[in-house]
């Protein structure tokens, strides 16, 4: 199966509708499979007094609150329908991440093919359950999370997929998690994204091998959501088996806003997609076998048994009169010892291939 490449537009439209359309153009031109935005209402997402993260203070006005920043970056509901329709015309899947229950209800009206659950909501139990109640596949991002928190989120999702009623307690969710159907539904519906929620992510904190840990722990398809600068790490993640790549992109890294600095520009996004597709081809099917282009080289590069001096019919073949060299035909050197001590069935000139 081909790696799913999600071009994360996020809030990089900066509240500008034309930029949102231009981001779709750039994602489609790059060859990404999906372009993803973020759907939220600032009043529901953050309290007026909520502080910004350190990276947000560095990349935006440090005097404004997180609420004020988020308010400027909202994607109005009225834009969604036009953006989705436009993306479809451009041949790319439109998706958006909901950060609150009402936003998820709104997105349900757009009939999106799947949902991405952001890392910050991995402990938001009511929202996790609501995502599962849609019945759609979800991709769960695991930035900032412990392995235990990932399992807890999966337990809540399994409840949502399997049970219509509200749980009475977290303990009841864990009891449901131990049931046989929980593992089945999670494997059918959920993929995981390893992620480091720092923008940009230092190389020493990427920890790509955590993908192996997630895959081993839960038996789920695992991908990588990247916040590093450049395109090296998402390509490397594919070489390690990532089934999904999510990468922020922007029209211009110099634009103001919290995520532009850790984003690719359009030409870089296109190069990332190209390199990922090349790595997919290079990974192959895992079978060790001669490739079609190798057969000619194999014939030219491998040695055969030859006569190292003139040999007459009836002569004994010895280590002194046969050896190996590239001859294009003749017996394989694998049978060298089988021929030593046997009798020549015909005459051989020096340098001529010897048959078995």
Residue 275 pLDDT = 98
Is the domain of 303 the same as that of 225? Answer: no
Domain boundary, last residue among 283, 312, 347: 283
Angle at 27 between CA 21 and CA 33, to 5 degrees: 125
Same-domain pairing of 32 and 9: yes
What does the pLDDT read at residue 117?
A: 98
* Range of weakest confidence among 44-58, 277-291, 330-344: 44-58
pLDDT the model gives residue 159: 98
Residues 246, 34: contact at Cβ < 8 Å? no
Output the domain CATH number for residue 177. Answer: 3.20.20.70
Model confidence band, residue 347 (pLDDT cutoffs 50, 70, 90)? very high
Residues 187, 42 share a domain: yes
Whether residues 102 and 129 fall in one domain = yes
Segment 192-245, tens digit of pLDDT: 999 999 999 999 999 999 999 999 999 999 999 999 999 999 999 999 999 999
pLDDT digits (tens, 9 = 90+) for 145-195: 999 999 999 999 999 999 999 999 999 999 999 988 999 999 999 999 999
Residue 260, domain extent? 4-283
Tell me how far apart the alpha carbons of residues 269 and 162 are, in angstroms, rounded to a whole number: 38
Are both 53 and 175 inside the same structural domain? yes
Residue that terminates a domain, selected from 238, 263, 283? 283
Domain total of the chain: 2
Q: What is the mean pLDDT of the chain?
A: 95
Q: What is the pLDDT of residue 56?
A: 82
Residue 236 sits in the same domain as residue 352? no
- pLDDT over 70 for what percent of the chain? 99
pLDDT tens sequence across 82-112: 999 999 999 999 999 999 999 999 999 999 9
pLDDT confidence of residue 68: 82
What pLDDT score does 190 carry? Answer: 98
Q: pLDDT value at position 43?
A: 87
The CA distance from 227 to 196, in Å, is 7
Burial class (CB in 10 A: 0-12, 13-18, 19+), 294: exposed
Residues 288/291/297/298 CA torsion (nearest 10 deg): 40
Can you tell me which residue has the tokens 């372009």? 35
pTM for the model stands at 0.90
Give the tens place of pLDDT for each residue, 104-139: 999 999 999 999 999 999 999 999 999 999 999 999
The arithmetic mean of pLDDT across residues 246-258, rounded, is 95
Pick the last residue of a domain from 257, 283, 309.
283
Contacts of 112 (CB under 8 A, 6+ apart): 94, 95, 96, 136
Same domain assignment for residues 277 and 295:
no
Could you tell me if 126 and 102 lie in one domain?
A: yes
101, 179: one domain: yes
């Amino acid at each position: 199966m081909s790696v799913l490449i999600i071009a994360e537009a996020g809030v990089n439209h900066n509240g500008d509708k034309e930029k949102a359309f231009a981001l779709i153009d750039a994602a489609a031109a790059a060859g990404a499979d999906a372009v993803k935005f973020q759907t939220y209402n600032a009043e529901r997402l953050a309290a007026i007094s909520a502080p910004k993260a350190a990276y947000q203070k560095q990349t935006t006005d440090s005097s404004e609150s997180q609420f004020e920043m988020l308010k400027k970056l909202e994607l109005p509901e009225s834009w969604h329908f036009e953006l989705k329709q436009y993306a479809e015309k451009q041949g790319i899947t439109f998706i958006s991440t909901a950060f609150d229950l009402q936003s998820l209800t709104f997105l349900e009206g757009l009939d999106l093919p799947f949902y991405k659950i952001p890392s910050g909501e991995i402990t938001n139990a009511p929202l996790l359950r609501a995502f599962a109640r849609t019945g759609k596949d979800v991709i769960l991002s695991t930035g900032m999370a412990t392995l235990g928190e990932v399992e807890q989120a999966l337990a809540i999702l399994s409840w949502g997929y399997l049970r219509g009623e509200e749980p009475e307690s977290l303990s009841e969710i864990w009891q449901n998690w131990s049931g046989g159907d929980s593992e089945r539904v999670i494997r059918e519906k959920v993929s995981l994204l390893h992620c480091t929620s720092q923008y940009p992510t230092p190389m020493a904190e990427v920890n790509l091998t955590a993908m192996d840990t997630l895959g081993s722990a839960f038996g789920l398809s695992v991908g990588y959501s990247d916040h590093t600068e450049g395109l090296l790490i998402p390509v490397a993640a594919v070489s390690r088996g990532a089934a999904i790549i999510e990468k922020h992109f922007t029209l211009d890294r110099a634009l103001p806003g919290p995520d532009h600095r850790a984003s690719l520009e359009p030409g870089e996004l296109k190069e990332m997609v190209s390199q990922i597709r090349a790595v997919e081809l290079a990974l192959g099917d895992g079978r060790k076998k001669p490739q079609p282009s190798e057969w000619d080289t194999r014939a030219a590069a491998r040695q055969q048994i030859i006569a190292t001096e003139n040999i007459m019919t009836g002569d004994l073949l010895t280590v002194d009169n046969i050896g190996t060299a590239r001859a294009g035909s003749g017996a394989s050197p694998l049978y060298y010892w089988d021929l030593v001590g046997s009798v020549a069935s015909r005459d051989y000139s020096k340098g001529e291939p010897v048959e078995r």
